[in-house]
Amino acid sequence: MIIPSTLKIYNASAGSGKTFFLVKNYLYVLLKSPYPDEFKRVLALTFTKKSSEEMKKRILQCIKEFSNKIVKKEYYSLFDHLMKDLKFTKNQLYERSQKILYSILYDFSSFSKNISTIDKFTYNIVRSFISNQEINLELKMDTYNFLLKIVDNLLHRLTYSEEWSNILVQFSIDKLKEGKNWDIRKELFQIANLMLEEQNFFYIKKIKNYSLKNFIQLKNILIKRTQKFEKKCKIQGDKFFLFLKKTSIKKNSFIYSELPRLFKKLQINNLFYNPFNERVEKYFKKNILYAKSSIQKNQKILIEKNKNKIISLYKKTKYIYIKNISRYLLDKLFLKNISIFSIIHEIEKEFNFIKNENKILLNIELNKILYEKIIQGTFPKIYEKIGIQYKHYFIDEFQDISFLQWYNIKILIENALSENGSAMIVGDPKQSIYRWRGGDVQQFIFLKNIESISYNKKFKTLETNFRSYEEIVKFNNSFYEYISKIFYSNIYKNIYKNSKQKIFKKPGGYVEINFLKSLKNKNYKEYIYLKVKNKIKKLLQKKYVLSDISILVRNNIEGHFLSEKLIEDGINVNTSVSLLIKNHLEIQIIINLFYILANPYCYQKRITLIFLLFKKKFFCTKKKYHDFIIKIIFFPLDLFLKKILSKNSLSLNKLYNKSIYNISEEIIESFRLLNKHNTVSIYSFLDFVYRFIKKGGNSIIDFLNYWESNKEKESIIISENKNAIRVMTIHKSKGLQFPVVILPFTDWNFMSKNKEGSWINVNPNLYHGLNTIYLEIEPYLKNIQHDKNIHNFYENYLSNTVFDNINLLYVATTRSIEQLILFSKLENEKSVSFYIKNFLCEKKIWNDKKYQYSFGKK
């Protein structure tokens, strides 16, 4: 009897030595094998390139060290572990390591290829079965500009189609009726993006089977159905007020005027919020329709006389509302998007046309291409080759893997396990922060619970934190145990409830939480920056250097702001956020001058230039902006520039027949734009100008067009400085650690300002064959309690959103080794600061007059 192999699943919380653990198990497989080239049969897949490079580096370092007879102290612990696990002598381990090292160096490309990102692995498989004509397709990572091109082409093409132009016009009119901008570019872009996103793959696939004719038919059905219900509600409202008129009952005779208000809502079709509220229900159950103390006697008699008719009308109206409201709400919500969804086939046509024309393959569609190939039943031949080649699999950061990624890899793993191979999966649901990119944490959660007949499963948690000092681990243990209570979902609740870690590092560590006092007229970001700068100074006065400190932010905007302020103050910065050139005042002045040179009579650009120069404090004049502008704005351009510059003239004659690069230099010199704090941004801009000229351009108009196309991605070139503060987003910090971590804006809102949406299950008989429809998440959905489907849909969205944001906070607060410093302002219950305050309240240390809380000693 063959004993099935075991799929090993490890839950690895932050700081639990995940990379060390993976490296150790990888080396175990290599050293256990009698073949020195066993690495050719091992595939290790990571989520990011950084992780795969780190893993390669560590494995090579270990093998190299083990090949020496005298193993260095830092590697001896791992050497000793492997020696005991493998039951080897020192000499045996040394000799085998030496043979493996020689074999790796002899075929390094195989070793390197077999430790890869999942995306690269998928790309190599897809390339292996695409046709010869497609083999030279360029892999496109950025989809933003690609989608913009689709939208532009689509609008241009459909505007001249009689059929589609009517649909587009109607959609614009619908938007105007809702008080929105008539331009539908944004909606087209959203639908195109929705089609590309992997998490929508199965839903979009079903909708693609729906023709334009189907959409038009469904839209007509929904309009008729909603109008029918609205008419019924209006009739009931009219009946009520007609009844009052006939019986001479006054509206204000009813208790709290609730009943007339209810029927008024029905009369004017204000139906989204349930008018049958608890107070109305309570009085009707008790047959109380008026307040005995405040009603006139004749009104009391009239109501008592007609009480049964009023109650009957109320009950019938409630029955009509409750019976139809669920369907009505879904119909109305879907009608908002149905016109734009009907263009889905045209978007796909444009999508394929641009791809073929430009010979590109989008990175985001690789998993879908491979999945489609697999479900067709014709496995790519390379799968057979891979199935023979690889016997051992390691998958890192499993919580961030998408459904399709796992489906495409699972076949290979199951095959290896059925042939006595091995597989190890490592992940942490608490560090799942890529759901917006298709990451599906549910796979990790359910993987351990689903039984398999072809292999066994072993689930284990890596419990010890090897990264952080005692006080930081204790704080995080306590805080996230409290956080577990906020989740309604038992799955999410248990993830954090069972997240307590053991402490490995020596005693010490420090956590500091700073709440801001009333800001009054202060600029919030500026105020935070001053606090952060002051904290950095104090840290530098102690034993720390700049490179010990990392500032983690929620998004690039916060990162830009802090990085630029630090650079302005002469503090060295290494940053992973893109410091866009366009954000710098000096660059805005140069570009504005280019616009003025290209169009000398554009007075709006002249005004903008003057404002920018005032902001730069270029003028010494005390004149008011308005007076100064009026005085010089209509001068000829040469004279206008002389009046602005006064002392250092910029003559137009100097600029004629000069290259754009030389013109840029003249502007920088004349307006004294270069200083010690902006050297990097100025030279980065000049580099941008130089690259444009190398392409063969020297026209100012062409340059400005080039600038507009590239300004959103053109960033400052910062050389790595060994002694510099690191500024990065929390997403980029995952997997890293720093002696000191500063979180300057620990008060972000859970709810995104951008419109989000999701798919909801519906009865296909009511939706012309569709069993799921797309709804935008609207705030008023939280008040719809009477429909379980919509209520559960919204609650599920909220639950996932809270989980995503708590995970982001968890990643941020677990990066530090020695010190963790938070700055926050108190926000509403939709922000992370709300939960930090509640945690302090539960610990009974919150004080309304206290603004700083600390754990451990500095």
**Hey, what amino acid is at 477?**
N
Residue 827: Cβ within 10 Å count: 14
Task: Indicate if 340 and 229 belong to the same structural domain.
Answer: yes
**Residue 277: domain span:** 148-358
Task: Indicate if 816 and 781 belong to the same structural domain.
Answer: no
Structure-token pair, residue 213 = 């004719």
Say if CB 512 and CB 821 are below 8 A apart: yes
Which residues, in sequence order, are CB contacts of 547 under 8 Å at separation 6+?
A: 722, 723, 724, 725, 726
Q: Cα–Cα distance between 514 and 594 in angstroms, integer?
A: 45
Q: What is the chain's alpha carbon radius of gyration, rounded to the nearest angstrom?
A: 33
Task: Indicate if 271 and 211 belong to the same structural domain.
Answer: yes
Structure-token pair, residue 151 = 């939208």
Task: Indicate if 528 and 609 belong to the same structural domain.
Answer: no
Task: Indicate if 259 and 391 belong to the same structural domain.
Answer: no
Q: Give residue 360's region: left, alpha or beta (phi > 0; psi -120 to 50).
A: beta
Structure-token pair, residue 831 = 């922000």
Task: Indicate if 844 and 801 belong to the same structural domain.
Answer: no
Task: Indicate if 209 and 253 belong to the same structural domain.
Answer: yes
Task: Indicate if 572 and 520 belong to the same structural domain.
Answer: yes
Q: Give residue 696's region: left, alpha or beta (phi > 0; psi -120 to 50).
A: left
SS3 string, 444-492, reads HHHHCCCCCCCCEEEEEEECEECCCCHHHHHHHHHHHHHHHHHCCCHHH
Q: What is the pLDDT of residue 757?
A: 84
Say if CB 428 and CB 10 are below 8 A apart: no
Task: Indicate if 94 and 24 belong to the same structural domain.
Answer: yes
Please state the φ and ψ torsions of residue 12, each to the nearest 5 degrees: -115, 100
Total number of domains in the chain:
5
Residue at which a domain ends, from 400, 434, 461: 461
In angstroms, the Cα distances linking 158 to 151, 162, 182, 534 are: 10, 8, 16, 57
Q: What is the pLDDT of residue 1?
A: 42
Residue 616: Cβ within 10 Å count: 15
Q: What is the pLDDT of residue 177?
A: 67
Say if CB 801 and CB 751 are below 8 A apart: yes
| Residue 310 located in a structural domain | yes
Residue at which a domain ends, from 301, 330, 358: 358
In DSSP terms, 32 is beta-bridged to none
In DSSP terms, 761 is beta-bridged to 772
Strands 852-856, 510-515: pairing kind? antiparallel
Which residues, in sequence order, are CB contacts of 709 under 8 Å at separation 6+?
A: none
| Residue 490 located in a structural domain | no
Q: Give residue 617's region: left, alpha or beta (phi > 0; psi -120 to 50).
A: left
Q: Which long-range contacts (CB under 8 A, 24 or more apart) does 21-25 make?
A: 21/426, 21/462, 22/55, 22/394, 22/396, 22/424, 22/426, 23/55, 23/58, 23/59, 23/62, 23/78, 24/78, 24/81, 24/82, 25/394, 25/424
Q: Cα–Cα distance between 558 and 578 in angstroms, integer?
A: 11
Helix ranges (H only) for 599-678 are: 603-615, 625-632, 637-645, 652-655, 660-670
Task: Indicate if 574 and 587 belong to the same structural domain.
Answer: no
In angstroms, the Cα distances linking 354 to 155, 161, 340, 362 are: 14, 20, 20, 11
| Residue 479 located in a structural domain | no
Written as one string, the DSSP assignment of 97-116 is: HHHHHHHHHHTHHHHHHTEE
Say if CB 470 and CB 511 are below 8 A apart: no
**Hey, what amino acid is at 163?**
E
Please tell me the number of Cα atoms within 13 Å of 473 on its side-chain side. Answer: 22
Q: Cα–Cα distance between 775 and 758 in angstroms, integer?
A: 6
Which residues, in sequence order, are CB contacts of 234 under 8 Å at separation 6+?
A: 266, 267, 268, 269
Say if CB 474 and CB 503 are below 8 A apart: yes
- The rounded Cα 606 to chain-centroid distance in angstroms is 39
Please state the φ and ψ torsions of residue 752, each to the nearest 5 degrees: -75, 145
- Residue 697, judged by CB atoms within 10 A of its CB (0-12, 13-18, 19+), counts as middle
Q: Cα–Cα distance between 16 and 415 in angstroms, integer?
A: 30
Task: Indicate if 206 and 349 belong to the same structural domain.
Answer: yes
Domain of 736, CATH number, reads 3.40.50.300
Q: What is the pLDDT of residue 178?
A: 66
DSSP percent split of the chain into helix, strand, coil, nearest 5:
60, 10, 30
**Hey, what amino acid is at 293?**
S
Structure-token pair, residue 373 = 């190939």
Q: What is the pLDDT of residue 848?
A: 85
H/E stretch holding 823 reads: strand 816-824
- The rounded Cα 249 to chain-centroid distance in angstroms is 57
**Hey, what amino acid is at 400?**
D
Q: Cα–Cα distance between 338 and 226 in angstroms, integer?
A: 14
| Residue 646 located in a structural domain | yes
Please state the φ and ψ torsions of residue 447, each to the nearest 5 degrees: -55, -40
| Residue 499 located in a structural domain | no
Q: Cα–Cα distance between 225 and 766 in angstroms, integer?
A: 10
Residue at which a domain ends, from 313, 328, 358: 358
Q: Cα–Cα distance between 441 and 692 in angstroms, integer?
A: 44
Would you say the C-alpha torsion 684, 688, 694, 699 has a positive or negative sign?
Answer: negative
| Sheet arrangement for strand 422-427 | 115-117, 42-46, 392-395, 422-427, 6-12, 456-462
In DSSP terms, 392 is beta-bridged to 42, 422
| Residue 111 located in a structural domain | yes
Q: Cα–Cα distance between 448 and 442 in angstroms, integer?
A: 11
Q: Cα–Cα distance between 554 and 732 in angstroms, integer?
A: 10
Q: Cα–Cα distance between 10 and 425 in angstroms, integer?
A: 6
Structure-token pair, residue 658 = 């000069």
| Residue 255 located in a structural domain | yes
Task: Indicate if 515 and 659 belong to the same structural domain.
Answer: no
| Residue 468 located in a structural domain | no
pLDDT tens readout for residues 62-76 = 999 999 888 888 888
Q: Cα–Cα distance between 389 and 385 in angstroms, integer?
A: 6
Taking the chain (858 residues) in runs of 10, the rounded mean pLDDT of each run is 76 90 94 94 91 92 90 88 91 93 93 92 83 66 83 80 73 68 77 88 88 88 94 92 86 73 88 78 73 71 82 89 87 84 86 86 88 76 81 93 90 88 93 85 81 81 93 96 91 90 89 84 86 95 93 90 86 78 86 87 84 76 66 81 70 74 85 80 86 81 85 72 88 92 93 79 88 83 73 87 94 96 84 92 90 89
Nearest Cα neighbor of 736 from 723, 745, 726 is 726
